[in-house]
Amino acid sequence: DAKTTQPNSMESNEEEPVHLPCNHSTISGTDYIHWYRQLPSQGPEYVIHGLTSNVNNRMASLAIAEDRKSSTLILHRATLRDAAVYYCILRDVKNSGGSNYKLTFGKGTLLTVNP
Amino acid sequence: NAGVMQNPRHLVRRRGQEARLRCSPMKGHSHVYWYRQLPEEGLKFMVYLQKENIIDESGMPKERFSAEFPKEGPSILRIQQVVRGDSAAYFCASSLQGLADTQYFGPGTRLTVL
C-alpha cells in the first residue's frame, strides 16, 4: 500500500482556516485520496475524497497537487467541533492488491482548535 | 437515514467471559467491516463480511474471535474467553458496495476486561 505522511499535530484558532497537509510521494495512478477524521471517543467520520481535481463538499475542501504527490485538507473556518485526529488514506480503486476495502489508518494529525 | 448503529456502546466483562458486539449497517448496505483500536494505537482492520459470507478475516486473531453477518439481523463480533489485552474500542463500518467504496463508521463499542 502506498504510504502517507502527516504532521503529528497542528493548532488553529476558532473561525480561522486550517490547512492539513498530507504527503504521498509513492501514490499510484489509481489511488484515490481519502480523508477521515475521528472526534474524541467517536468512530471515524468520512470527510472527503478525490483523485486528481480539487473537491469541495459541505465539510471541507481537498486540494490535490498537480503531480498528486501531496494534498491538503482545508477547513475554511475551524470550530471547536473540528478538534479531532485527521487521517489521510490512499485507496486503490483498481484493487491491484486485492484488498482495497481495507482502510489503513496511520497516526494522523491531531488538530487542536483554540477558542 | 440512520447511520451505522453499534451496541452496546460500553461493555465490561471479566476475564474468561464472552463478549458479543452488535453492528447494524446503514440501510441498504450489505458490506460490513470491523476494526479494532487498542489504547493509544490506530485503527486496525479485522474482518470484512458481506451478507452471510466472510470475505476476509485476515486481521482477526486466530483464536477466540469470530464474526458473522446473517441474512437477517445485525453483524456480530464475538470474543470468547476474553483477556485483558482484548480491552479496546471496536468499530464497525458499512458500505453500499465493496472494494474502494466509502465506508461509514458506527460510534464503536468500548470493551473493558477486568
In this prediction, the residues of chain A whose per-residue pLDDT falls under 70 are 1-2, 95-98
Q: Tell which wins on pLDDT, A99 or B51.
A: B51
State how far residue A94 is from chain B, nearest Cα, in angstroms.
Answer: 8
Q: Do A95 and B44 touch (CB under 8 A)?
A: no
Region B72-97: mean pLDDT is 95
- The B residues from 24 to 43 touching A (CB cutoff 8 Å) are 31, 33, 35, 42-43
Query: Is a pLDDT exceeding 60 seen at residue B45?
Result: yes
Residue A96 has what pLDDT? 60
State how far residue A24 is from chain B, nearest Cα, in angstroms.
Answer: 18
State how far residue A78 is from chain B, nearest Cα, in angstroms.
Answer: 23
Indicate the pLDDT class of residue B39, thresholds 50, 70 and 90.
confident
For A31, name the nearest residue in chain B, comparing CA atoms only.
B100
Which grid coordinates are listed for B86?
482484548
Best residue of A86, A95, A101, A103 to probe chain B, by most B CBs closer than 10 Å = A101
Residue B94 has what pLDDT? 96
Distance CA A55, CA A75 (A): 12
Tell me if the bond preceding B8 is cis, omega within 30° of 0.
yes
Residue A82 has what pLDDT? 96
**A90-94, B40-44, B67-71, B104-108 — which is least confidently predicted?**
A90-94
Which residue type occupies B92?
C
List Cα–Cα distances, B52 to A33, A69, B44, in angstroms.
31, 40, 23
Check: CB of residue A113 under 8 Å from CB of residue A83: yes
Check: CB of residue A109 under 8 Å from CB of residue A8: yes
List Cα–Cα distances, B4 to A113, B21, B74, B92, in angstroms.
28, 13, 10, 8
Reported as a single tens digit per residue, the pLDDT across A15-28 is: 999 999 999 999 98
Residue A109 has what pLDDT? 97
Residue A94 has what pLDDT? 74
Distance CA B16, CA B18 (A): 7
Distance CA B38, CA A103 (A): 16
Check: CB of residue A91 under 8 Å from CB of residue A34: yes
- What's the number of CA atoms in the CB half-sphere (13 Å) around residue B68? 7
